Structure 1
Amino acid sequence: MSAGTSEAPGARRSRLRLVVVQALVLALFGTLFARLWFVQVLDGEAYQAQAASQSVRDIVVQPQRGLIVDAQGRPLVANRTAWTISVDRTTLGRLDDDAAGAVLDRVAGLLGLERAAVEARLLDCTSGDAVAGECWNGSPYQPVPVAVDVERGVALQIQEQPEDYPAVVAVEETVRSYPSPYGVNAAHLLGYLSPITESELDAAEDADDRSVNGASVVGRAGVEQQYDQWLRGMPGYQRVAVDSMGRVIGDDSTIEATPGDTLVTSLDAQVQSVVEQQLASTIETARATRDEVTGRNYVADSGAVVVLEADTGRVVASASQPTYDPGVWVGGISTGDLEQLYSEEAGTPLLSRATQGQFAPGSTWKPFVTAGALTNGYSTDTNLNCSSAFRVGNRDFKNYESGAYGSISFARALEVSCNTFFYRIGYDYWAQYGSDVSDVDAFDPLVEEAKDFGFGTATGIDVPGEASGRIADRAWKQEYYEAQKDYYCTLAEEDGNDFQHRFAREFCAEGYAYRAGDAVNFSIGQGDTIVTPLQLAVAYGALANGGTLYEPRVAKAVVSPEGQVVREIEPTVASTVDLPPEVFGYIDTALEGVTRDGTMAWRMGGFPLDDVNIRSKTGSAEVYGKQSTSWVASYSDDYVVVMMVSQGGTGSGTSGPAVRAIWEALYGVEGETFDPSKAAIPGVVATSALPNFTEDGSILPPARDPQEQQ
């Protein structure tokens, strides 16, 4: 065939196929190139971030928690280093089952634990087998603590024998410590720490709060809880590279943790020490003292003392018994210790009697009844009969030991604490305004005055869990009846003539009725009205300063780790009591008479009252089925001191010596000599200045303004 002859049909088809194949190949390469460009250029950063997240993990570095110091800069809560034993679950997972089990057995034996307890702590809290409080709530990429605050020898044994303890890490970490200047406890004010819960962690994540994480501990009571967000600091993060199996293969970067802020309180450790010692010794003495009424020693099951600055409401000291050691929470509390803290047999040590304990105020209530009476029809010229008893219906309401003083004034009635004088006032108002026992809205001047002084509502102290007390007025009695009538009416239908069944029948029929007996009991702080020692202290503070009710404050300021003031916590006015100055003056003079000539005088003999004018009121509150509650409420121009001992006896008889000792410490009194240079607080009253935070980290007492010197 010649050169010009056309190509055969078979050859053309072969060439066409080749062109098609070439086109397909080029198309595929074009698509691949476009995809690579899309992935590497257009979405490159997103894919790089995704890859990084799959190969880099964050290990939390917990911050050092902030200090809590008193007004002079003395540390009340600090930090110390402690050995922590942790297990790296990643490394443990590389071992075979027998080897891993042997490691856990050796660790458990060294720590004095059961292997099951160690395994429980290694479980993630999200696991179905996890036990709350024992599981691990933190990052799965960091070692899990199985024991905190172990002995140094235990830690060294692990460090020196790594071949016997693969996957086990012994490191030093910071934990809470309690320096206890002057031996103070102050547990109910300071609080304690425990691990964060799942619900708290979820709430923090929802709020984008990065200051906590699964391995955090948080404040559970006291100022540790109230000011937790400042004290906790900000965690750091160590970024580590992991392989496809999640195993750590190297470090990537580190973000340092930020220590927490320091909380400066208004507490004074020296005064706190005196208060705690006096309360403890008073309770001990009461328990060794025979109660002539019951024929056995006083139970003295609990007690409290509160010391406030009269003109600011700041808390200088507060003690509660029984108390507890906040250090038991460090490293995790045992089940036995936890049960003890909640045990009624042990006196429920976690309960702060100062802010949560509620007791009948007894005769310490009478100054507020006086205020109500003097502004609602009675005058300072009024004289009433202080008879040995006052009859209401078929019952005689008696004076203490049935004493009688004849016709006396309000001032004298306060001095000798005459019950029948105040019974007459309570009965008079009931007869005038409320003889209709079912009238819930009947006016009662004494109830209104009690509310004006803050009773029946929480004071607003910056310590969580405060109780509100109770004013047992007509409205409360009606509410209580509605809540309890089904129970008592059912009980009333049963056969029985004992006290319980008789009471049930009476309550079912007329439990709502506010009778004359309720009114006269209210007038002397008896019956169902209850207060906290803190409420009483705040109210007496208003008597001292002329009518201002403060929200008590424990905290004074928040200071950064660098020593800069982050927040000043100023005194907060809750309300004012609208009483004429002459009424305040009259009550003040009358309470001065209680100290000099009345029921507190025998405990204050020789005290330099001309230099330090102490006004006071004693009380012995009777509680059905229990021994009397001892009260002393007192104040000076500078301070308020209130003391209570439950089932402790009479007011001045039991609490009087301790209250005097506290006043002696506050003012530097020795015997009959007043020496302000020996007062527990320099200058007698704390300066408004804060402690000095130096560059080397030490904290010095505040500089005192010469104008503040007394």
Structure 2
Amino acid sequence: MTNIPETGRTPRVQIRLVVIQILVLSLLGTLGGRLWYLQIRNGDEYAKEASGNHVQQVVQPAVRGSILDARGVPLADNETRLVVSASRTDLMKMDDDGEAVLTKLAGVLGMKPKDVIEKVRLCDAKTPQPCWNGSPYQPIPITDEATPKQALQIRERSEDFPGITAEPEAVRRYAAPGEANTAQVLGYLSPVTDEEITEAEDTDSPYLRSDQVGRSGLERQYDKELRGKAGVTRYEVDNLGRVIGKAESDAAEPGSNVVTSIDARVQRVAEYELNEAMVKARQQFDKITGENYKADSGAVVVMEAKTGRIVAMASNPTYDPNAWVGGISGKDYTALTGKKSNYPLLNRAIQGQSAPGSTFKVVSTAAAVEAGYEWDGGYPCTSSYSVGGQVFKNFEGESFGPISLGRALEVSCDTVFYGLADKEWKKDGGINPKKGEPKDYFYKAAHQFGLGQETGVDLPNEVTGRVPDRQWKQDYWKANKDAWCKSGKKNGSYTEKIAYENCLEGNKMREGDSINYSIGQGDTLVTPIQEAVIYGALANGGTMHTPTIGKAIISADGKTVKEIKPEVSGKLPVSKATVKGMDKALAGVVTGGTAAWKFQGWPQDKIEMHAKTGTAEVYGKQTTSWLATYSKDYTVIMTISQAGTGSGASGEAVRNIYSAMYGVQKDGSIDSKKALLPTPEKDLPKVKSDGSITAPKISKDPAKDLQASEEDETGAADGDQPAATTSPTGTGNRDTRRRGARPKKRRRALT
């Protein structure tokens, strides 16, 4: 056996020792570098975070500001209710995810266990309402209608209800004064989401997990002003969570009040008259379809003609915004958003768009004058207008012979506008326009009147409507060409033939397109708020205003008042002489034209009324009723889908709205004592030194409202209740804030 010398192993051992030494030194260097980074380089930052582990925050939600009508009457405010909430974090620590606790809670509250459990599940793409779309780390409200007895049971048996709280909280209330619902204008609240919290972190108005935010209407538009700033109290605690001291704290700042130009009394009348008009329309027989009118939706706008301020805005079907307070139920959510709901959450005054029918003729009249046609020219008003093999009829085949543009407006003669639009189409080169830009007077006039774009009203999600000019046709053709070419047939059904024609030349301005467009038919779409701006401009001599609902922002202490001034958005593209001619013609619509039968006996010599009726045809549906009107003070626009003619469906309702505002009686006399708003409200509500706002009471009877207003000015009569007061914290007095006076949640959409 050969012996290996020991000296042969020494170099290997030495190499291993060197490697180990290098590894040890590397580890020590890494640890040293890390310690330097933690203790020196970022020491202050981590020290600050570590200290935060011993500080707990308690959030005091800010009281949300009130939304008031023009006289200070609360449309949306707050009241104190007993709210039962569940901590999802605590429930998830239980073996059954808190199901047993929630089932027991349901028994105390008189609710179904399924409904309670659904309230605390988190919303996602697969989870239907009801569910919680707010932060999972904040208490989730189960009910805001707990009785004192129920709250006492929960608090006295806290060991049986871990993670459950029952506390008095300020809760949003949509007061509906005098049954003025104002739902789509006000909007509603829901909890802030984690995504919204993250997005707002670096803004000047960050969210807290406990915040409720506006989701539509004024609640969303003025959310920042209404929300205020939550208070935060910080406590120093030990590692066992025991409070050992109080750190700094920030007091809660209540939100500001938003004063609107809405008059709750006129709002109530507008809502009532719109609903009544729809109910009556459903009782009328439609000869064309062979069944009664459906009158499935509608809207009305009442606007100050000289400022653009909105006095009333109603949309039907409507709903009760109180349904969202404290979390919406599955039944209510389905009623508001399901396919059979007819979508009451839509504000059809700014989101409902349809062909305007003959109310559009004021635009076509302006276009004709701009194109060089004389106002007093003799234009043939025949019973029909023929182009090739197609016949375009006048309404009910009427014929008035040669008439002026003003007379054409007054009697709403379709064939006059057919002829003018057809001539301009031919001058522009017909289906293959001449080189260079066509004049397109009729289409350019619509844009100059503000159509095809938002009016800028201070409400979210306004739609633009549509002006089907050459650019729109080109864009629309590109988007739909493939579908048209696939489904179109030369000798197929009506819709297949249309698709076939559109496939070939849907991007070209055809003769029939321009003819239909001239009377507000075809692809033209407008909204009621756009019509209000146009007819308001005609009322005031030609100035278009940006419609506004917000009138002022008043801080909770009343010390800061920021007025929202009316803004001019443009001028009508017509001369003063043309505006004057239109004004005279539209007055003639009331006295001898298409609206005369609904305004018989109206005191035209004292309150001059102007109107334009519209009956828009919609393929596959019954006709849409439009009535656009104005006096020297106000513009009232009403539209009802599938309800028949403009004056037939809407005439009586619109007249009743004016009668209520001006105090016009059935016999045509004027009783100023019964006039709700004979002139627009100019002043803001009076703010007291403590920030509270005194407002008149609103009853269901307009006469009582007027009497109360007179008593407020001279002093309340013996035995009368004082006027309602909105306090800076939004709690108000017992007369208007007592629990029994709170409107009950309606469990269905209202029609």
TM range, normalised to the smaller chain? 0.7 to 0.9
The residue aligned with 2:7 is: none
The answer on 1:273 being equivalent to 2:268 is yes
The higher radius of gyration belongs to 1
Structure 2: gaps of 5 or more residues: 1-34, 697-708, 714-751
1:336, distance to aligned residue in structure 2 (A): 3.1
Q: Distance in 1 between matches of 2:128 and 2:341?
A: 27
Q: Distance in 1 between matches of 2:136 and 2:492?
A: 65
The residue aligned with 1:202 is: 198
Q: Distance in 2 between matches of 1:115 and 1:667?
A: 54
Q: Could you tell me which amino acid in structure 2 is paired with residue 503 of structure 1? A: I
The residue aligned with 1:8 is: none
> Which structure 2 residues correspond to residues 500-511 of structure 1 after superposition, within 5 A?
500-511=495-506
The answer on 1:532 being equivalent to 2:527 is yes
Deviations 1:18-55 (A, max 9, x none): xxxxxxxxxxxxxxxxx9xxx9xx99998875554111
Q: Distance in 2 between matches of 1:198 and 1:43?
A: 29
Q: Could you tell me which amino acid in structure 1 is paired with residue 551 of structure 2? A: K
Q: Distance in 2 between matches of 1:119 and 1:454?
A: 50
Q: Distance in 2 between matches of 1:411 and 1:546?
A: 16
Aligned alpha-carbon RMSD (Å): 3.2
SS of the equivalent of 1:624 reads coil
Deviations 1:501-545 (A, max 9, x none): 322222212222211111111111111101001101101111111
The residue aligned with 1:354 is: 349
> Which structure 2 residues correspond to residues 418-567 of structure 1 after superposition, within 5 A?
418-437=413-432, 441-492=437-488, 497-567=492-562
> Which structure 2 residues correspond to residues 653-668 of structure 1 after superposition, within 5 A?
653-668=648-663
Deviates more, 1:154-163 or 1:193-202: 154-163
1:93, distance to aligned residue in structure 2 (A): 9.0
The residue aligned with 2:4 is: none
The residue aligned with 2:612 is: 617
SS of the equivalent of 1:206 reads coil
Deviations 1:63-87 (A, max 9, x none): 1100000001111001011211234
Deviates more, 1:576-585 or 1:153-162: 153-162
The residue aligned with 2:683 is: 689
1:255, distance to aligned residue in structure 2 (A): 3.4
The residue aligned with 2:644 is: 649
SS of the equivalent of 1:497 reads coil
Q: Could you tell me which amino acid in structure 2 is paired with residue 372 of structure 1? A: A
> Which structure 2 residues correspond to residues 24-63 of structure 1 after superposition, within 5 A?
49-63=48-62
> Which structure 2 residues correspond to residues 585-604 of structure 1 after superposition, within 5 A?
585-604=580-599
Cα distance change of structure 1 residues 598 and 115 upon mapping to structure 2, 3 Å threshold: closer
Cα distance change of structure 1 residues 302 and 68 upon mapping to structure 2, 3 Å threshold: same
**Which of 238, 258, 263 matches 1:263?**
258
State whether residues 70 and 268 of structure 1, in contact with CA within 8 Å, keep that contact through their aligned partners in structure 2: yes
Q: Distance in 2 between matches of 1:597 and 1:87?
A: 66
Deviations 1:399-439 (A, max 9, x none): 11111111111122112111111111111111111413467
Deviates more, 1:47-56 or 1:595-604: 47-56
Cα distance change of structure 1 residues 502 and 164 upon mapping to structure 2, 3 Å threshold: same
> Which structure 2 residues correspond to residues 302-321 of structure 1 after superposition, within 5 A?
302-321=297-316
> Which structure 2 residues correspond to residues 172-251 of structure 1 after superposition, within 5 A?
172-207=168-203, 209-210=205-206, 212-244=207-239
Q: Distance in 2 between matches of 1:254 and 1:123?
A: 33
The residue aligned with 2:72 is: 73
Q: Distance in 2 between matches of 1:312 and 1:305?
A: 18
Cα distance change of structure 1 residues 100 and 410 upon mapping to structure 2, 3 Å threshold: closer
Cα distance change of structure 1 residues 98 and 419 upon mapping to structure 2, 3 Å threshold: closer
Cα distance change of structure 1 residues 527 and 437 upon mapping to structure 2, 3 Å threshold: farther
Deviates more, 1:341-350 or 1:626-635: 341-350
Cα distance change of structure 1 residues 47 and 647 upon mapping to structure 2, 3 Å threshold: closer
Cα distance change of structure 1 residues 173 and 492 upon mapping to structure 2, 3 Å threshold: same
State whether residues 441 and 474 of structure 1, in contact with CA within 8 Å, keep that contact through their aligned partners in structure 2: no
Cα distance change of structure 1 residues 132 and 471 upon mapping to structure 2, 3 Å threshold: same
Cα distance change of structure 1 residues 222 and 124 upon mapping to structure 2, 3 Å threshold: closer
Cα distance change of structure 1 residues 132 and 500 upon mapping to structure 2, 3 Å threshold: closer
Cα distance change of structure 1 residues 468 and 434 upon mapping to structure 2, 3 Å threshold: farther
Q: Distance in 2 between matches of 1:149 and 1:131?
A: 24
State whether residues 303 and 320 of structure 1, in contact with CA within 8 Å, keep that contact through their aligned partners in structure 2: yes
Structure 1: gaps of 5 or more residues: 1-34
Deviations 1:600-656 (A, max 9, x none): 111111111110011111111111121111111011111101110111001111110
Cα distance change of structure 1 residues 122 and 249 upon mapping to structure 2, 3 Å threshold: farther
Q: Distance in 1 between matches of 2:626 and 2:258?
A: 32
Q: Distance in 2 between matches of 1:590 and 1:136?
A: 54
State whether residues 121 and 136 of structure 1, in contact with CA within 8 Å, keep that contact through their aligned partners in structure 2: no
Q: Distance in 2 between matches of 1:103 and 1:160?
A: 15
The residue aligned with 1:576 is: 571
- TM-score normalised to structure 1 length: 0.86
Q: Distance in 1 between matches of 2:373 and 2:687?
A: 56
Deviations 1:373-416 (A, max 9, x none): 12321112201111110001111100111111111111221121
Query: What is the percentage of aligned positions where both structures have the same residue?
Result: 45
SS of the equivalent of 1:479 reads helix
Q: Distance in 2 between matches of 1:286 and 1:296?
A: 12
State whether residues 425 and 514 of structure 2, in contact with CA within 8 Å, keep that contact through their aligned partners in structure 1: yes
State whether residues 90 and 247 of structure 1, in contact with CA within 8 Å, keep that contact through their aligned partners in structure 2: no
Q: Distance in 1 between matches of 2:584 and 2:80?
A: 55
1:340, distance to aligned residue in structure 2 (A): 2.4
The answer on 1:381 being equivalent to 2:376 is yes
